[in-house]
Structure 1
């Protein structure tokens, strides 16, 4: 049945002020809701609609259709003789087809005063619930609320497929002094791509992805996508138990993974079918995922982030990523994630000069420019920026059940002169080189995460001797739970790279770490950074022939797993991959193909890693007192001529485990070590020279102490672990 139609010509059209009209059409009006929509005027209610390219627009009230008059530039207006503003729809005609839609400009703000207050204070710990695109029901109508922080903008408009990427029809309103712009758009929902068209202070326009987008298009496309989660978590048991024991008193053995290249081509859901089983089989307690937040350039490995709140769309949707985390948890595996608050790229559609002026980056160009990576550093002194990052850390832990954040490039944040020459940096207010804003940010982030997400750990990649990285914030520390031990990594890799005949001159490189081992809570990392860019893979760092390279790798891993501190090993190194890692093809899985002649060589190293993890998890002496000096005793720390290192690890009950590493390619018979007299008999619990690992199979089947000493046969290039019988 045709809808009755009337004309507006009998009543005068309430014209817009010329200045308001110009600002509205140019996208520079702070309050479009004051102009568009329905408003009481003398003689009735004026309806104004901005719909460029529409042939006609009508107002539908109680089934009665009233045509509005076109007044140019896509504006339609008319006055209806009404006493109050009614419920109404718009009927908009394009190319001869009429569409009935809700008017976005008849709705009150969908963001509350409490949210705006917290945003203004820089204390909104659930910022992702306030900003961004959120499907919701508002005033009885379903749609999406769009909100964005752009305090320097003259105006902001929403655009997307729904308006052919011309945002003229959808200007947002400024919500007071908060710098937040808002628009509720009826009928927009899950899966809709969008961006913000921002009018800069100089009147020019820039099209930007949403900084708070929780889903994005697949790169190289750059639009944000409206999303709503429907994932139902099934990891209740894991979440309830993960904080039962402090991380520094628990076993932690981490398998570092670059998801896009672990098995190239797999989606998050396909990874969920393979990765948990593989990691469980090898006995690692956790995986550490290289940054999964959205990034435009895959060659950055995820370390140049543009979508801080969105898992990369290369592998699936946010719910697909949740499915992967869920699967790992249900397999008993914790999930750590690299988090990158140190910098962001300069892409013109992302965060750089977001609203026409420095916003997320520091206003001082010297402070803003990261000298190493051609990126921009965050302005940690700005409360809204600090809030953006602190809430982001909480977001990954709460929304995706992430168990820990490994914070990248902490040193570059802490020092004002990081990679800068004299004259390229300005001292802090005390005349020092410390970035006090970054210190305050890291302390706030750590304190907030530990308060809000029990059982979660934070881990610093910090390469200097900054004091108190893992000290509590209440005691003036940065508040991290753990810190990567870059000194141990560098020194130990330097040592094993030397020919065995020269190692005695570098013996201190293997012992020096114990001088500072208890100054922080450490992780021992053999990460992706050590097996790329000409550094060679772990096994290829070793001197000698193929047998010696594998043997030294096994001995080194045995030493690493026994050394105080937690463990981290990058993918591919668990089976002695000879080539450097490349993100384009990932690990060389073909080395484990039974048809490959050298497959037993690689399988042997993988079998050792499995056994290292198994014994490690069942020997509290190897992890229970990682941060307690009383849990470690040197037995032979000065046997440089023999290339031997021997030490005891003790659990809380005093039960020891003896680790002996021998980095010479010879057999040493009847090698005497002094040990506590009250332990008469020992047995091997692990020997990296075992035949099934590819070794020469020299063992110590039964060992008895005499006169406070233990006589061993040391296999060549091997580590053995002994336990009291």
Structure 2
């Protein structure tokens, strides 16, 4: 493909439209649709010789009818220049034009008006060495415009691209389909390409032709289902859509599925765009793959960009978000979906523009600037990616070309029972290609460090949220969606091969075997692994929050909820998620889930966070929870930042929790025992798992060298003095490195421990033991002094 070049035109299509509307003799835009450019080069001077006689060469009636109906598969075979006896036939379709004149070297001839916008003529242009370049002078009521003829160009999409699209293996699909400003055969313009195999015809319409596509039919490029048209003198910033003639002859106006930029919702047009962004994160990219994610510190701050600081754009966010996240010590941010979506209340999980960052906060290059800023601050970027479903909006993907295309043709398989959306047909190679290339696109074009894949469980099971009779078993009689399994395996294999250092994370809420197992390793179920790098541990989240919701006097009867996760902790590579889903829709914020008065709620929250950061697995915390926001999150106003304002009476309580989160991350990052062997049983040992009567548990974490960290959690509101805890006898002294009850965090600060020497008394199956004073509702970390 030729390098993209910006249009040389000084004004936009909208500005030209306004100018033409101000011309007294001009018709309204809906009646008059020149694709010619008033700001093009001046008309070529007429040759001195007399103009040649023009013999009409009208379109055959069938072609004429199909072109007018928008159902012609090969407009280039009729329009443009074609060798003929005695010269060259040139035909043009220019609705609303009064005249069309051909201008070539040494020739200027007016074509015959055949009616309905068709013009033709047989001209004495030699075609022995190919038809020479020519231009068209198109006369309208408002003036005359000189332009290139879009129908004199060869296809601007190569055979290799078409072959890969047909095979469903085009890993850079965004470079082949969509709207691409380029120079083609020496002429600057935009190539429009779209996959619509069921269409009878496709036209492109936009601001450059006053939204009348009658003169802009695309050609079908063989059996691939791809349609193409190179339109000269159209460039970046123009709006466009595709007008598709369905199999029944009706028409539908659709946004480009491959659009890399869109109008700001609620507007729905696609925008021609190209990027000249210069990245500054080369150092980050070079070192991000040095250690696999599951063996590295990985602490995630989940963000809903539109509401983190409402009203800020990508570039304004870049001035604040990296500094804030760096101050808190998180290693990564996870962005809730940024791909374009029509309804803000979906939080981005109902995507219509899979290749376009939402225009609500700026341009694609603005979003690149935000990612770049995070990388330069040492922070990785993970993006929520939604390949499970898409909304039914009539201008988007649903029945895109008049029949089920992106969705499954079986209505039972297509309709998602929970969300009113449509599920992708993952058995269709072109649809798989669309999604897999999309995953690659975000990683390569926007430098994403990871993709958190939404709703994996809904993809894996044919009977997901369906009753008996509402689903059909697979070819083996099972409930597994074999197409989804193959898709996820291919997606993971492709992005890991192409993008060193990235990680994929599955939001998968069932016990599916091998979510984070390599795709070539077959498990007991008979399936190869899905190939994800990490998986959300939804079981840990539900069980631990249920335990914390009980009043401490009742926790003894639910102690297994806080310890059960270690039974399966090494079955997958886990992330411990306290995500947006847990603090909305009546579930209450994290601190509000805790029982008791305000002091006890905050103490419980601090103890819980200390337990979470010490537990095997990576951590994820949703914005607002880092400072104990009491209200549920709302996308309308975001976090309650005013709680941190010094003028607020309880601000110190909230700042204390935020300080704890920053210290948790700081100690976590410098203590390999907390992350280096997250996925190995050798990195963990229970010290006290059955202390239900005391609401106490204790465990050891080990790094690769065997150096330990001791975590002791007291989930009761009483001080436990002289509490004996077993420890190894090869550590001469222990020092407290974190205490969630410290005064600076809003705790009592009464029970801090200095260096402690173990006693030779065996305890809890260990050769030695420590005598500790456990603060109320607290977690304490100790390491070798």
Aligned to 2:62: 19
Aligned-residue offset at 1:44? 1.9
Q: Residue 657 of structure 1 corresponds to which residue in structure 2?
A: 709
From 698, 701, 704, the equivalent of 2:757 is: 704
Q: Distance in 1 between matches of 2:99 and 2:648?
A: 72
What aligned pairs does 1:330-341 form with structure 2 within 5 A after superposition? 330-341=376-387
Which whole-Å CA distance do the structure 1 matches of 2:438 and 2:124 have between them?
51
* 1:599-630 deviations in Å (ceiling 9; x for gaps): 00000000000000000000000000000001
Residue 65 of structure 1 and its aligned partner are, at CA, apart by: 3.0
Aligned to 1:4: 46
Could you tell me which runs of 5 or more consecutive residues in structure 1 were left unpaired when the two chains were aligned: none
Query: d(CA) in 2 for partners of 1:715 and 1:691?
Result: 11
1:370 matched residue in structure 2: 416
Structure 1's consecutive aligned runs of 4 or more residues displaced over 6 angstroms after TM superposition are 5-9
d(CA) in 1 for partners of 2:582 and 2:515? 23
Residue 498, structure 1, aligned to residue 531, structure 2: no
Secondary structure of 1:703's counterpart equals: coil
The aligned counterpart of 2:501 is 455
In the alignment, is residue 250 of structure 1 matched against residue 296 of structure 2? yes
1:680 Cα deviation (Å)? 3.3
Look up the match of 2:24.
Answer: none
Match of 2:647 among 595, 600, 605: 595
Aligned residue in 2 for 1:713: 773
Report the alpha carbon displacement of residue 330 of structure 1 after superposing the two structures with TM: 0.4
5 Å matches for 1:503-514?
A: 503-514=555-566
Taking the aligned partners of 1:277 and 1:432, their CA distance within structure 2 comes to 50
Residues 385-433 of structure 1 show CA distances to partners (whole Å, capped at 9, x for unaligned) of 0000000000000000000000000000000000000000000000000
Name 1:724's counterpart in structure 2: 784
Give, in whole Å, the separation in 2 of the partners of 1:638 and 1:2: 92
- Partner in structure 2 of residue 402 of structure 1: 448
Give the counterpart of 1:54 among 67, 74, 97: 97
Q: Which residue of 1 aligns with 2:587?
A: 535
Partner SS for 1:507: helix
CA apart distance, 1:9:
9.1
Counterpart for residue 263 of structure 1: 309
CA contact (8 A) 2:54 2:111 kept: no
Match of 2:734 among 679, 682, 693: 682
- Equivalent in the alignment of 1:342: 388
Secondary structure of the equivalent of 1:201?
coil
Whether the aligned pair in 1 keeps the contact of 2:52 and 2:123 (CA below 8 Å) is no
The answer to whether the 8 A contact 1:428-1:436 is kept is yes
- Aligned residue number for residue 154 of structure 2: 108
Residue number in structure 1 paired with 2:188: 142
* 2:96 is the counterpart of 1:44: no
Q: Displacement, 1:2?
A: 8.1
**CA distance in 2: counterparts of 1:15 and 1:71, whole angstroms:** 6
The 5 Å alignment of 1:596-675 reads 596-675=648-727
Of the candidates 334, 347, 354, which is equivalent to residue 288 of structure 1? Answer: 334
Which stretch has the larger CA shift, 693-702 or 278-287?
Answer: 693-702
Flag the 1:7–1:511 CA change in 2: closer, same or farther, 3 A. Answer: farther
CA distance in 1, matches of 2:106, 2:502: 56
- Greater alpha carbon shift after TM alignment, 89-98 vs 452-461: 89-98
1:313 aligned partner: 359
Cα drift, residue 229 of structure 1:
0.3
Shift of 1:15: 2.0
Counterpart residue number, 2:125: 82
Which string of whole-angstrom CA distances, capped at 9 and with x for unpartnered residues, describes residues 449-486 of structure 1?
Answer: 00000100000000000000000001110000000000
Question: C-alpha separation between the residues in 1 aligned to 2:291 and 2:54?
Answer: 76
1:579 matched to which residue of 2?
Answer: 631
Shift of 1:56: 1.7
| 3-state secondary structure, aligned to 2:235 | coil
Matches within 5 A, 1:427-576: 427-475=473-521, 476-576=528-628
Q: Structure 2 matches for 1:99-248, cutoff 5 A?
A: 99-248=145-294
| Kept after mapping to 2: 8 A contact 1:7/1:66 | no
Q: Which secondary structure does the structure 1 equivalent of 2:285 belong to? A: helix
Distance 1:104 1:76 in 2: 15
- Kept after mapping to 1: 8 A contact 2:388/2:459: yes
Question: 1:31 maps to which residue?
Answer: 74
Instruction: Give the Å deviation of 1:81.
Output: 1.7
CA distance in 2, matches of 1:454, 1:389: 19
1:67 Cα deviation after fit: 1.4
Could you report, residue by residue, the CA deviation over 1:627-686 in whole angstroms, capped at 9, with x for unpaired residues?
000110001100001111100000011100000111111111111111212223211000
Structure 2 residues without counterparts, runs of 5 or longer: 1-42, 522-527, 762-767
Does the 8 Å CA contact 2:58/2:121 hold for their aligned counterparts?
no
Superposed displacement of residue 282, structure 1: 0.4
Q: Residue by residue, what CA displacement relative to the aligned partner does 1:300-333 show, whole Å, maximum 9, x if unpaired?
A: 0000000000000000000000000000000000
Distance 1:17 1:89 in 2: 23
Q: CA deviation at 1:92?
A: 1.3
Q: Which moved more, 1:418-427 or 1:77-86?
A: 77-86
Measured in 2, the distance between the counterparts of 1:55 and 1:298 equals: 47
Residue deviations 1:107-130, cap 9 Å, x none?
A: 000100011000000000111111
Aligned residues, how many? 725
- Deviation per CA, 1:310-362, whole angstroms, max 9, x where unpaired? 00000000000000000000000000000000000000000000000000000
Counting only pairs closer than 5 Å after superposition, residues 418-429 of structure 1 correspond to structure 2 as 418-429=464-475
CA distance in 2, matches of 1:273, 1:214: 24
In 2: Cα distance, 1:7 partner to 1:573 partner = 82
Query: Aligned-pair distance for 1:62?
Result: 2.3
Q: Give the TM-score normalised by the residue count of structure 1.
A: 0.99
Query: Quick one: distance in 2 between partners of 1:454 and 1:621?
Result: 25
Per-residue deviation, residues 97-154 of structure 1 (Å, max 9, x unmatched): 1111110000000100011000000000111111111111110011111110000000
Structure-2 separation of matches of 1:559 and 1:632: 14
Is the 8 Å Cα contact of residues 8 and 68 (structure 1) preserved in structure 2? no
Q: C-alpha separation between the residues in 1 aligned to 2:488 and 2:372?
A: 28
The structural deviation recorded for 1:384 is 0.3
Q: Deviation at 1:8?
A: 8.1
1:490-526: per-residue Cα shift (whole Å, max 9, x none)? 0000000011100001100000000000000000000
Give the Cα–Cα distance (whole angstroms) in 2 for the partners of residues 329 and 161 of structure 1: 37
Q: Distance in 1 between matches of 2:304 and 2:714?
A: 33
